[in-house]
Amino acid sequence: MGYVRTAGMSTAARRRRRRAALVLTALVTLLAAIGLYALAYFQGWLPGGDGGSSDQDQVTATATAPALQPEDVTVNVYNASGAVGIAGRTSEALASHGYSIDAVDNAPQGTETPQVAEIHHGPEGEEAAQLLGTLIPDAVLVADTREIAEIDLYIGTDFVELESAPADDSATATE
């Protein structure tokens, strides 16, 4: 049928019709691409779209004191700094502050923590990580996919050793 319709048209008229169809197709394609980009932007599918706000959320989260108590938090302490014995001394200091210690060991081979410390936690342990972050203020919170509330403390190269919690004053009152 298209042959019958265009058989009586001149070559110039057919070119104009073909050009108009191409321009309209290009415009529709461009509008569809802009719409998909807008959808991806608002859904957060684009890289870097939410990256800045999550860092700010972490900083804000460490500034607020969570309602969780240290006795309710289980910590694994790993030495990623290379300093001998620092994981053991840190676990003793954390225990004196009331934290439960599960594992004390060197970090797995190849683990590098150039910061002061990293606190790895899952969704269940986010509040616990924030609480530990108040004791180690320069620690970086790192979310992972674990399903338990237990958190891991990776001691970095710039880590400053924690002091133990002060003992009861009843022993010094006899002086």
Contacts for 164 with CB less than 8 Å, ≥ 6 apart:
92, 93, 96, 97
DSSP strand pairing (74-79 vs 100-106): parallel
pLDDT tens track for 103-138 = 999 888 877 776 889 999 999 889 988 989 888 878
pLDDT tens track for 12-23 = 888 999 999 999
CA 139 to chain centre: 13
Fill in the DSSP letter of residue 64.
Answer: S
Phi, psi of 161 (to 5 degrees): -60, 145
**152 pairs with which residues across the strands?**
76, 120
Q: What pLDDT, on a 0 to 100 scale, did the predictor assign at position 6?
A: 60
Q: In this structure, are residues 138 and 59 in contact, taking their beta carbons and an 8 Å threshold?
A: no
> Global pTM?
0.57
pLDDT mean over 20-35 = 96
Q: In this structure, are residues 72 and 85 in contact, taking their beta carbons and an 8 Å threshold?
A: no
Q: What pLDDT, on a 0 to 100 scale, did the predictor assign at position 169?
A: 47
Residue 65 pLDDT more than 80?
no
Residue 100 pLDDT more than 50?
yes
| 84 vs 54, more confident | 84
Q: What pLDDT, on a 0 to 100 scale, did the predictor assign at position 66?
A: 47
How would you classify residue 44: left for phi > 0, otherwise alpha for psi between -120 and 50, otherwise beta?
A: left
The pair of three-digit structure tokens given for residue 113, joined into one six-digit string: 């923590």
Task: Say how far apart CA 44 and CA 146 lie, in whole Å.
Answer: 23
- Predicted confidence band at 60 (pLDDT cuts at 50, 70, 90)? very low
CA angle, 98 as apex, 143 and 95 as ends, to 5°? 85
Q: In this structure, are residues 107 and 152 in contact, taking their beta carbons and an 8 Å threshold?
A: no
Domain ranges of the chain: 2-43, 51-155
